[in-house]
Amino acid sequence: MTPRVVLVTGVGGYLGGHLAARLAANPAVHRVLGVDTVPPHPGVREAVRELARVEFVRADIRNPLIAKVITEAEVDTVVHAALTANPPGPTRRSAVKELNVLGAMQLLAACQRAPSVRALVVKSTAAVYGAGARHPAVLTEDTPPHGIAANGYAKDAVEVEDYVRGFARRRPDVAVTVLRLANLIGPDVDTVLTRYFALPVVPTVLGYDARIQLLHSADALAVLERAATRTAPGVFNAGADGVLMLSQAIRRAGRLAFPVPRAAIPTAGRFLRGARLVDFSEDHLRYLNHGRVLDTTRLRAEFGFTPRWTTRQAFDDYVHGSGLRPVISPGLIGGLERGLVGTR
């Protein structure tokens, strides 16, 4: 089914904003409505303002106005991309939770009342699986969540997914797609992870080395666009091929790892938060301890999408594209090797 009228939430973020612009560029799509409390993402502001392809509604999704917008515009596809760990607007944890969970509830309530809605796409996160020593190494969509901090972004995502399941039960005529995205990376996204690797000295947890799986922002956009334009109901993991070890990634970025004992992490985290550099939430710490790898068989076979970038390529693209100056350059190490071996 090709959507005629699409509503995208969270256009203030990278994915929401770019997705709205992409859908607007699709001739089959009639209208694209973008909703957020903050202005659209800087990367797509042009498209919104000058081309007027995306109609921007500056509203909070917790506002009943959203229901009116959906019914009046006869929206048939809703893409909920507002769920986020670090929103562009408020940063207080309680406010973020409110936005994430209550926002989703309101949006779903509005969708349930709107007979025109035919498809719902929810951008969720791989963080719903949690991370820990007792987790299977490769997580399929059926792996239950486990070891999640009582209060955090991952918990928000789990709750939102619960409400989405409830919605799918009550509106069986709506095709509901939930995409659990692995950590995004790319030259022009700003996430907890991109800021983390941009630190010259990267704090790690002593004695642990996480397996990390990434997803290039271009692939994340492509997978969301595909979900919005074709009906493929279900829950799907979306992550790139291959795995990098955290230590390996730090070396590839030319960074220095600074192992901190597990007990000293909260102090280090407070320091980094205080310095407005990186946010170390409990969930993120567990992730850095144990890592997380998703099984993407269902994404390929059922959803019909294969990420174009592997984890390694995506990471290298981030390193080169965001102009990270390596603290330890590969050239230096290569030179040192040649010097020591005496090869000419």
Partner 1 sequence: MREARVIPLDRSRRSPAAEAPDGPPVAPTPLRKDPAPTPPTGLRQAFEFARRRLTGEYQVDRFGFDPELTEALLLPPLRALYRRWFRVRVTGAENIPAEGGALVVSNHSGTLPLDALMTAVAVRDNRDRYLRMLGADLVFQVPLLGALARKSGQTLACNPDAEHLLRSGELVGVWPEGFKGIGKPFSARYKLQRFGRGGFVSAALRTGAPIVPCSIVGAEEIYPKIADLKPLARLLGLPYFPVTPFFPLLGPLGAIPLPSKWHIHFGEPIPTDTYEPRAEDDPMLVFTLTDQVRETIQQTLYKLLDQRTNPFFD
B/e letters for 154-182, b = 16+ CB within 10 Å, e = fewer, are bbbbbbbbebbeebbeebeebbbbbbbbb
CB of 210 to partner 1, least distance (A): 9
CB of 208 to partner 1, least distance (A): 6
Residues 120-139 that bind partner 1 (CB under 8 A): 133-138
Nearer to partner 1 by Cβ, of 113 and 262: the residue is: 262
By CB under 8 A, tell whether 334 contacts partner 1. yes
Residues contacting 299, CB < 8 A, separation 6+: 223, 236, 237, 238, 305, 306
Encoded tokens for 10: 């969270």
By CB under 8 A, tell whether 92 contacts partner 1. no
Other beta carbons within 10 Å of 328: 13
d(CA 7, CA 74): 10
CB of 128 to partner 1, least distance (A): 16
Among the listed ranges 41-49, 73-81, 114-122, 288-296, the one in contact with partner 1 (CB under 8 A) is 288-296
Nearer to partner 1 by Cβ, of 36 and 141: the residue is: 141
Residues 243-282 that bind partner 1 (CB under 8 A): 243-245, 247-252, 262
Residues 186-215 that bind partner 1 (CB under 8 A): 205-209, 211, 213
CB of 13 to partner 1, least distance (A): 29
List residues bridging with 175 in a β-sheet.
119
DSSP string computed for 61-109: TTSTHHHHHHHHTT--EEEE----SS-SS---HHHHHIIIIIHHHHHHH
Q: For residue 65, give the amino acid letter.
A: L
Nearer to partner 1 by Cβ, of 163 and 208: the residue is: 208
Residues contacting 73, CB < 8 A, separation 6+: 5, 7, 31, 33
Among the listed ranges 110-118, 149-157, 215-223, 291-299, the one in contact with partner 1 (CB under 8 A) is 291-299
By CB under 8 A, tell whether 343 contacts partner 1. yes
Burial of 1 from C-beta contacts in 10 A (0-12 / 13-18 / 19+): exposed
d(CA 75, CA 4): 8
By CB under 8 A, tell whether 143 contacts partner 1. yes
By CB under 8 A, tell whether 292 contacts partner 1. no
CB of 213 to partner 1, least distance (A): 8
CB of 176 to partner 1, least distance (A): 25
By CB under 8 A, tell whether 144 contacts partner 1. no
Element (H, E) at 340: helix 330-341
Interface with partner 1 (CB under 8 A):
133-138, 140, 143, 205-209, 211, 213, 242-245, 247-252, 262, 290-291, 293, 295, 328, 330, 333-334, 337, 340-343
